[in-house]
Amino acid sequence: MFTDDAGKGGMTADSPGNSAHSNRRTGGDLVQLITPGGVRVSHPAFDSWLQDVGDEQLAALYEDMVAIRRIDAEATALQRQGELALWPPLLGQEASQIGSARALRQDDFVFPSYRDNGVAYCRGVKPADLVKAWRGNALAGWDPYTVNVATQQIIIGAQSLHATGYAMGIQNDGADSVAVAYFGDGATSEGDVNEAMVFAASFQAPVVFFCQNNHWAISEPVLLQSHIQIADRASGFGIPSMRVDGNDVLAVMAATRIAIDRARHGGGPTFIEAVTYRMGPHTTADDPTRYRDANELEDWAAKDPIARLKTLLDRQGLLTEELEAAVAAKADAVAKELRSGTINMPEPQPLDIFKHVYSTPNSSLERQQDHYTRYLATFGDPAAAVSEEGAR
């Protein structure tokens, strides 16, 4: 079933890989498998990609979404308490991130934006590592090659080029893994994303472009930057696209599996537009009440992705007291781990700035490090020198 943003009946499409037929912003062709009321809607073109998702898997997806929302809330609180310099909330986008991340294979490589902490969580990044850069303790929170997730990209859309280049490397290696680039609706107006799609289409690279259309590029509404559905932009590059309800974890998972399978078997790139909503601020430095109508937020709150899946579980008799207790315990545990890891995070040392700049020895960097070491020595104890410098 294809529906519009409000969950009303819309047009039908010929296949999952087709984008919308209309060039107008009608809101049609939105794939939805769980309605906002928690009703499972059958669709043969997508249901076949979810045959392995039984009761246990549904419960696991629910736990993931609740856990990452709790991490998000805890990180926001830590920022308000002065423990983090900044935090980009993902409130409302849990289904887009969890549904897509759980469709990936371990050897697939993810290129995330700064908001994709749910994806990183699913790939095995520790809660405290999600905030390491936001606390100013490191340039990146994790080693990309231990979890197959690149460091989060702040420059809007740049990760799409990185993903495409990596995918072309996969081709050269003769492997069947896939690269996935995550970005928001605002990034589709950037040159990097468009250039990445040119290369991906030209070389039929095994890359998935996953756009979370959360309706706001900071304070700029999506209607201003795109007068057609964002998924339709991909067709100009010769890239097939899908437009799914981004608050529907099953629709997102099915679409991602379709795109991954296509890329894995030589079908080239796919563009997915997951239509969701940023219920919180762009970052903790933003005040969305200055540019967003409160009624809009209320409308989207009624389509909450976690409440939707919870209602489905309840309808199917799966929302037991035991499940709710286990999910709550998991959320409490990850929140505790995040808070403890943040507050007790070791402070970086003066010479740490020279670590991980180059993978092999570099004479220029070594010379700079030597000069800085001798400068710190003029203060006596380098650690004390840092404290003295920080006090100035």
- Is 80 in the active site? no
Instruction: Say how far apart CA 229 and CA 11 lie, in whole Å.
Output: 14
- Is 70 in the active site? no
Distances (CA, A) of 44 to 16, 47, 227, 274: 10, 5, 31, 20
CA 119, distance to chain mean position in Å, is: 5
- CB distance 21 to 11 below 8 Å: yes
- CB distance 43 to 73 below 8 Å: no
Out of 102, 243, 278, 308, the active site residue is 278
- Strands, E assignment, the chain: 2-3, 30-31, 109-111, 179-184, 207-213, 216-217, 220-221, 241-245, 270-275
Give the closest residue to 334 by CA, choosing from 147, 72, 71.
71
Out of 291, 356, 371, 375, the active site residue is 291
Give the closest residue to 251 by CA, choosing from 99, 102, 105, 36.
99
- Is 278 in the active site? yes
- CB distance 210 to 270 below 8 Å: no
Q: Taking the CA of residue 62 as centre, how many other CA atoms within 13 Å lie in the half-sphere pointing to its CB?
A: 25
Instruction: Say how far apart CA 113 and CA 360 lie, in whole Å.
Output: 27
Instruction: Say how far apart CA 101 and CA 14 lie, in whole Å.
Output: 26
Out of 262, 282, 308, 339, the active site residue is 282
The CB density around residue 367, as the number of other CB atoms within 10 Å, is 10
Give the closest residue to 139 by CA, choosing from 357, 386, 367, 390.
357
Please identify every residue annotated as catalytic. Answer: 278, 282, 291
